[in-house]
Amino acid sequence: MSVISGTVSAIGGAMSQEDANKKNAENTQNTNALNYQMFRESRGANGNAILPLYMKGFETTLGNDAIRAYNDSLSPTDAAAQAKIIQSNFSPMQDQANQTAEAIFSGGLTAQELAAEAAVAAARQQGVDTKRQSGLEALSQTLNEINAIQAGKGYSSDSLGNRMLKADSMRKTFTQSAADQAAANLETAKERAAIKEGGISRKLSSLDLPGKMLQQNITVAQSPNNVYLTEEANRQGILNFFKLNPQAFQNQNLPQVGAVPSALQVGSGMMSAAGSQVGSMLINKYLGIPVAGKGSGNSADYAGEIS
């Protein structure tokens, strides 16, 4: 019985493998045909590489609207041209910004601030000079009035008292003028020191400015090209909904079908494992061996009889 079981199992296995091979061959053939069709359609065969082939009815209207929106949108070339015009309009300001950034490190800004302070210092000095001159004129007028009064009383203007009076008045006037001059000089020195310190602080706080300006100038220079690419992406986005597949088409074969045990193998296994009479009867039936009380028949009929 073991010989028969082994033989039958081998026959059944071969039959099962043959069926699996036929199924695999059929699947492979169908898959290759579909892959080839998709490959050609993805490159525009029999229609359009973007819009699907099923565009009918309302889908036709929807597709036509998308195409119209695509055609009516600003072309990337026109968008880039507009960007260049805008770029040229802002170019003078960008140049000034670059010059200002350069002046931070070259000392140009500090020099401009010192020049502006010089005008303030000159006005301050003029105030000191004017105040001193006014004081001297007032002193001269007062002394002349005193001389006139003393002369009317018969006193000489060259007297010791008159000289002491003139000396004391002149001393007070020039002392006040010197104090005013010193205060003006101190204020000017403070302002200039503050401006120079500010220039140093500005440099220290702007160490990353060259890199930022470099990136900004690169961005400005690339803006027309970036606008072109953005506009092209926006136009393509109108048709994204209709694309068959936004990704590159890949061939994917169907999984291979493994061999499925046949009824002969099942029966042989049952007979070998347990010596089952049912398994033996099933094998005999497949081999056309008559069974007591039964005639030969097909496996489906006989399976119903033993179920």
Q: Are residues 87 and 221 in the same domain?
A: yes
Domain boundary among 192, 215, 240: 240
Q: Give domain status of residue 7, yes or no.
A: yes
Q: Give domain status of residue 151, yes or no.
A: yes
Q: Are residues 117 and 263 in the same domain?
A: no
Q: Are residues 101 and 225 in the same domain?
A: yes
Q: Are residues 142 and 91 in the same domain?
A: yes
The per-residue pLDDT for 306 is 41
Q: Give domain status of residue 139, yes or no.
A: yes
Q: Are residues 205 and 234 in the same domain?
A: yes
Q: Are residues 223 and 85 in the same domain?
A: yes
Q: Are residues 267 and 228 in the same domain?
A: no
Query: Residue 261's domain spans which residues?
Result: 2-28+251-306
Q: Give domain status of residue 17, yes or no.
A: yes
The per-residue pLDDT for 58 is 74
Q: Give domain status of residue 147, yes or no.
A: yes
Q: Are residues 225 and 121 in the same domain?
A: yes
Residues of the chain with pLDDT under 50: 1, 3-4, 273-275, 296-307
Which of 148, 138, 202, 194 lies closest to 170, judged by CA? 138
Q: Are residues 204 and 91 in the same domain?
A: yes
Q: Do 225 and 60 contact (CB within 8 A), yes or no?
A: no
Q: Give domain status of residue 10, yes or no.
A: yes
The per-residue pLDDT for 190 is 94
The CA distance from 264 to 281, in Å, is 11
The per-residue pLDDT for 303 is 43
Domain boundary among 240, 265, 281: 240
The per-residue pLDDT for 22 is 84
Q: Are residues 81 and 186 in the same domain?
A: yes
What count of Cα atoms within 13 Å lies in the side-chain half-sphere of residue 1?
16
The per-residue pLDDT for 296 is 47
Q: Are residues 93 and 199 in the same domain?
A: yes
Question: How many domains does the structure of the chain reveal?
Answer: 2
Q: Give domain status of residue 6, yes or no.
A: yes
Q: Are residues 220 and 264 in the same domain?
A: no
The CA distance from 116 to 131, in Å, is 24
The CA distance from 17 to 23, in Å, is 10
The residue behind tokens 């300001």 is: 93
Q: Give domain status of residue 45, yes or no.
A: no
Which of 267, 292, 264 lies closest to 14, judged by CA? 264
